[in-house]
Amino acid sequence: MPRYPHVSPVVAAMPGRIYSSLAHRMAAHPGETYPLHVGDTYMEPAVGCRMQDLTVADHPGMHRYSSVQGDRALLDAICARTERTQGVPTPRDAVLVTAGATGGLGAVCGALVGLGDEVIILAPFWPLIAGIVHTMGGKPVPVPFFPDADTPITPEAAVKAVEAAITDRTVALYVNTPHNPTGRVIPQPVLAALAELTRKHDLWLLADEVYEHYVYRGEHAYTRPLAPERTFSNHSFSKAYGMAGNRCGYVVGPPEVMPELRKVSTHVWYSTPTASQIAAYNALQGPGDAWAAKARDLYADVGARAAARLGVPAPEGSTFLFLDVADALDDRGVDGLLSDCVDQGLLVGPGESFGPYPTHVRLCFTSVEPERALRGVDVLARCLGR
Amino acid sequence: MPRYPHVSPVVAAMPGRIYSSLAHRMAAHPGETYPLHVGDTYMEPAVGCRMQDLTVADHPGMHRYSSVQGDRALLDAICARTERTQGVPTPRDAVLVTAGATGGLGAVCGALVGLGDEVIILAPFWPLIAGIVHTMGGKPVPVPFFPDADTPITPEAAVKAVEAAITDRTVALYVNTPHNPTGRVIPQPVLAALAELTRKHDLWLLADEVYEHYVYRGEHAYTRPLAPERTFSNHSFSKAYGMAGNRCGYVVGPPEVMPELRKVSTHVWYSTPTASQIAAYNALQGPGDAWAAKARDLYADVGARAAARLGVPAPEGSTFLFLDVADALDDRGVDGLLSDCVDQGLLVGPGESFGPYPTHVRLCFTSVEPERALRGVDVLARCLGR
């Protein structure tokens, strides 16, 4: 009972901000800076999809609440797109428009995860997913899964790794492809084997596909067609179309469970921003895919050049590189490397934010303009002696 | 363990949408409609504070993530305003910008409430607060508190009612003034007595003041100056300046606990929409208060006229009337009345959404233009035989 001055033990046990002291130092850096620790884009959204394009004359009442499920026009556009990309019937009741994919996964975990329930998370992992599971009272169970960038991911190894982690408290498996932080893309046969495994063990399946537009080699495979009765497919206008600040994404899942997600979303952020939903709708009318196609080419180029400079394979997808830098660390460990980088204006993420990876770092190669990002990569390469 | 196809028992036990079937019927209504069930405004935000006023040229990167705590310029404007209105030192670390006041109270309850912990809620109450406490695993404990509109609220009665509900699981008291749904304003001596009571019992104090700008008789008293060490003061740009769809509000609380709130907010909706924060900042530069002063006069007038037509005292504040309609109900109860209203295009809220009030209804007199709202009120008055 956390009466004043105490707080909830669940929240107290969670780690706090990881970048604050370094970000503070970087803010004081006199020269050019390279904030490659954040997953974001330097590109402005497509014309027609910016806030300045959305007028009260065209959209009277656009500053009022929307429906908690989402604006009807946007819901219908999402249903049409999802049926086209996933090939699965997607009625309006299968969709919840969310405060970004973070809000979507928050609603999914809030609905599915009770106190002490376990969610298996393929590691390394997007840091927020562990915190989301924690916040909802659950226990994230990281399973080392993604091999080195040049080793294939096989169905057999995938099933073996995940099945070994299933306990009688496991309720769900979280899969993210294209992958943050490794830049890997999980092959379709691996997803099929994992979907079959969730069916065998009566688990829910959380498919985080926010980088679905950003594949540079191979092809993105959707998870929901493999087990539509148990899969929550998470998507993001943020990542797709350069609108992270708009806080708009969506979840597609089994219609009979979506009312449970809406209970959670209604009570943690109520409705998704109305203007952001109009911007998302406009993006889905064509400008978004044109923007994403252009972004994909630019991202592929800068990602490959960044990887080459660091001596690692080019990313298959997403907007990240995840490097084992053990050979370049002194007895200060990764903290020392990060500190040296900050002295030269570069911020990257420490591996331990992404699971049990104390000698790795992550960088995002799209958070600033390509040439500037590459100058940041060069800072890192020099710190690593590469 | 809620494996597929089951969900979290906490969420499963929560009631779902309350308006859906009636709203569906109203959507099919052929004539003018009166959606007075929603707490919103018919007014567009002030010029300079609309999305169309926010350009990429003026705000490069305005579609990217903001800091999870909030944009610095907005934080500083909130600190300055809060010190002016509340007279309490308010450093930047005391503030969290939130996805509306709902997101703010979600972050507060997420940080403070553990499984089974009780939060005392003065009843009748804003429906979402019960759901927020539920979502975070807690138990809302409604305490009948607000008397008839013409009976004074006294410190003695307030303390007696609340103290009787305190158990060894109680962690917090939720107070809302100006009040949704009754339109009452809690006098300063009552707030002082309640603050003293929380100090006596080591409770946290949640002060929901989203209608602080909308007082028509008397004066709004802030709670935080009475117990700044334990009070979370919740505010809304939605209600203040007509921006509910922007999803931007803020919480002010003890700096040493705010990092715990940030953990929750980061993991349920990440950051508050960036453009919405710029709009809020612009509103705080003057246009917002001018808009609110005009809205206050308009709201006071329509509220008084609506109350007169229904034969009840004019509201002291907020944008609602809460009526006991027992004398007009047949054996169908409030559901029958609501159904009759929908047949004439009017939607109002059933009393049981607001606590143990099965013979009450709530209406918002600002959700549509004044004359239209009054035509809706007339529909209700005729249904009630008034």
Q: Do B268 and A269 touch (CB under 8 A)?
A: yes
Chain B CB contacts of A134 under 8 Å are 267
Nearest in space to A240 (alpha carbons), one of A341, A380, A355, A100: A100
User: Quick check: helix, strand or coil at residue A19?
Assistant: coil
Contact map slice: A 178-197 vs B, CB within 8 A: none
- Give me the residue from B11, B65, B269 closest to A263, CB to CB: B11
Return the amino acid letter for A229. Answer: E
Q: What does the alpha-carbon distance between residue A52 and residue B292 come to, in Å, rounded to a whole number? A: 24
- Burial string for A123-160 (b: 16+ CB within 10 Å, else e) reads bbbbbbbbbbbbbbbbbbbbbebbeebeeebebeebbe
> Phi-psi category of B28—alpha, beta or left, where left has phi over 0 and alpha has psi -120 to 50?
alpha
Q: Convert the pLDDT of each residue in B39-74 to its tens digit.
A: 999 999 999 999 999 999 999 999 999 999 999 999
pLDDT at A17: 65
Environment class of B248 (CB within 10 Å of its CB; exposed 0-12, middle 13-18, buried 19+): buried
Look up residue B181 and give its two tokens: 């749904």
Mutation site for B-interface testing, chosen from A205, A263, A281, A364 by largest number of B Cβ within 10 Å: A263
The interface residues of chain A toward chain B in range 114-173, judged by CB-CB distance below 8 A, are: 114-115, 117, 128, 131-132, 134-137, 168-171
Assess whether the previous peptide bond of B127 is cis (omega < 30° from 0): no
* Residues in A touching B16 (Cβ below 8 Å): 259, 262-263
Q: Which residues partner with A232 through β-bridges?
A: A206
- Please tell me the distance from the alpha carbon of residue A210 to that of residue A325, in angstroms, as a whole number: 27
Set of chain A residues whose Cβ sits within 8 Å of the Cβ of B270: 99-100, 102-103, 128, 247
Whether A273 and B246 lie within 8 Å, measured CB to CB: yes
Between A203, A259, A263, which is nearest B4 by CB?
A203
The residue of chain A nearest to residue B227, with distances taken between CA atoms, is A4
Does residue B96 contact residue B269 with C-beta atoms inside 8 Å?
A: no
Q: How far is CA B127 from CA A19, B84, B241, in A?
A: 37, 31, 22
Please tell me the predicted confidence (pLDDT) of residue A23: 80
Query: What pLDDT is stored for residue A19 in this prediction?
Result: 60
Mutate to test the interface with B, among A38, A63, A68, A266 (most CBs of B within 10 A): A63
Q: Is B98 helix (H, G, I), strand (E, B) or coil?
A: strand
**B108, B169, B247, B319, best to mutate vs chain A, most A CBs in 10 Å:** B247
Q: Which residues of A touch B41 (CB under 8 A)?
A: 64
Would the CB atoms of A64 and B5 count as touching at under 8 Å?
A: no
B110–A247 C-beta distance less than 8 A: no
Map A120-141 to HEC letters.
EEEECCCHHHHHHHHHCCCEEE
| CB < 8 Å to A104, chain B | none
In sequence order, which residues have a C-beta less than 8 Å from that of residue B96 and are 6 or more positions away? B69, B70, B104, B107, B250, B251, B253, B258, B261, B262, B265
pLDDT at A95: 98
User: A20 at the B interface (CB within 8 A)?
Assistant: no
Q: Which of A135, A202, A185, A182 is nearest to A322 (CA)?
A: A182
C-beta atoms of A63 and B264 within 8 A: no
Instruction: Give the pair of three-digit tokens for residue A17.
Output: 């901000």
Q: Do A55 and B55 touch (CB under 8 A)?
A: no
pLDDT tens figures, A310-363 = 999 999 999 999 999 999 999 999 999 999 999 999 999 999 999 999 999 999
Separation of alpha carbons B148 and B152, rounded Å: 8
Beta strands in chain B (DSSP E): 34-35, 95-98, 118-123, 139-144, 170-176, 204-208, 231-236, 249-252, 320-324, 346-347, 349-350, 360-364
Cβ pair A245:B269 closer than 8 A? no
The predicted-structure confidence for A182-200, as pLDDT tens digits, reads as follows: 999 999 999 999 999 999 9
Shortest Cα distance, chain B CAs vs residue A240, angstroms: 13
Q: At B80, give phi and psi (nearest 5°).
A: -65, -45
Check B267 against A111: CB less than 8 A apart. no
Whether residue A357 contacts residue A182, with contact meaning beta carbons closer than 8 Å, is answered with no
Mutate to test the interface with A, among B37, B117, B269 (most CBs of A within 10 A): B269
The Cα-based distances of B63 to A214, A248, A377, B89 in angstroms read 19, 11, 25, 32
Q: Say if CB A17 and CB A10 are below 8 A apart.
A: no
Q: Domains in chain A and their CATH numbers?
A: 9-44+288-383 (3.90.1150.10), 60-287 (3.40.640.10)
Structure tokens at B186: 């809690």
Task: Give dist(CA A195, CA B222) in Å, integer.
Answer: 54
Output the six-digit token pair for B357: 């009030």
Residue B64 contacts A where some CB pair is shorter than 8 Å: yes
Would you give per-residue pLDDT tens digits along chain B (386 residues)? 568 999 998 899 888 765 667 888 888 899 999 999 999 999 999 999 999 999 999 999 999 999 999 999 999 999 999 999 999 999 999 999 999 999 999 999 999 999 999 999 999 999 999 999 999 999 999 999 998 877 899 999 999 999 999 999 999 999 999 999 999 999 999 999 999 999 999 999 999 999 999 999 999 999 999 999 999 999 999 999 999 999 999 999 999 999 999 999 999 999 999 999 999 999 999 999 999 999 999 999 999 999 999 999 999 999 999 999 999 999 999 999 999 999 999 999 999 999 999 999 999 999 999 999 999 999 999 999 99
The CA dihedral of A224, A228, A230, A231, to the nearest 10 degrees, is 20
Please report where in the chains the tokens 């080699």 appear, as a residue. Answer: A217
- Of the partner residues A38, A137, A264, the one whose CB lies closest to the CB of residue B115: A137
| Type of residue at B308 | A
Query: How near does any CA of chain B get to the CA of A50, in Å?
Result: 8
Q: Which two tokens stand for residue B101?
A: 């006041």
Distance of alpha carbon B208 from alpha carbon A343, whole angstroms: 44
**3-state DSSP call for residue B209?**
coil
Q: What is the DSSP string of A301-366?
A: HHHHHHHHHHTSPPPSBSSEEEEE-GGG--TTHHHHHHHHHHHTTEE-EEGGGGSS-TTEEEEESS
B112 touches chain A (CB under 8 A): yes
| CB nearest B52 (choices: A56, A113, A274) | A56
A326 touches chain B (CB under 8 A): no
Q: Give the ipTM.
A: 0.96
Q: Alpha carbon of A95 to those of A49, A119, A134: distances in Å?
A: 22, 22, 25
- What is the spatial distance between Cα A194 and Cα A205, in angstroms, rounded to a whole number? 9
Cα separation values, B236 from A262, B71, B298, Å: 22, 16, 19
Residues B65 and A99: their CA atoms lie apart, in Å, by 12
Residues of B in contact with A275 (CB under 8 A): 51, 245-246, 275
Point out the residue among B115, B230, B266 whose CB comes nearest to the CB of A4: B230
A171 with B1: Cβ contact below 8 A: yes
Q: Which of A38, A135, A171 sits opposite B268 (nearest CB)?
A: A135
pTM comes to: 0.96
Which of A40, A110, A269 has its CB closest to that of B247? Answer: A269
Instruction: Report, as ranges of residue numbers, the positions in chain A whose pLDDT lies below 50.
Output: none
Q: What is the pLDDT of residue B2?
A: 66
User: Which residues in chain B are closer than 8 Å to A45, comparing Cβ atoms?
Assistant: 63
Give the number of other Cβ atoms within 10 Å of residue A336's Cβ.
Answer: 14
Whether a cis peptide bond, with omega within 30° of 0, leads into A5 is yes
Asked if B65 lies within 8 A of A41 by C-beta distance, the reply is: no
Between the CA of residue B5 and those of A177, A257, A336, A347, B209, what are the distances in Å? 24, 9, 47, 43, 40
A51 CB within 8 Å of a chain B CB = yes
Return the SS3 of B191: helix
Query: Alpha-carbon distance A150 to A139, whole Å?
Result: 31
Reference A358, options A334, A327, A380; nearest CA is: A334
Query: Pick from B207, B205, B210: which is nearest to B235 by CA?
Result: B210
Q: Is B41 helix (H, G, I), strand (E, B) or coil?
A: coil
Instruction: Give B-chain residues touching A7 at CB under 8 angstroms.
Output: 111-112, 257, 260
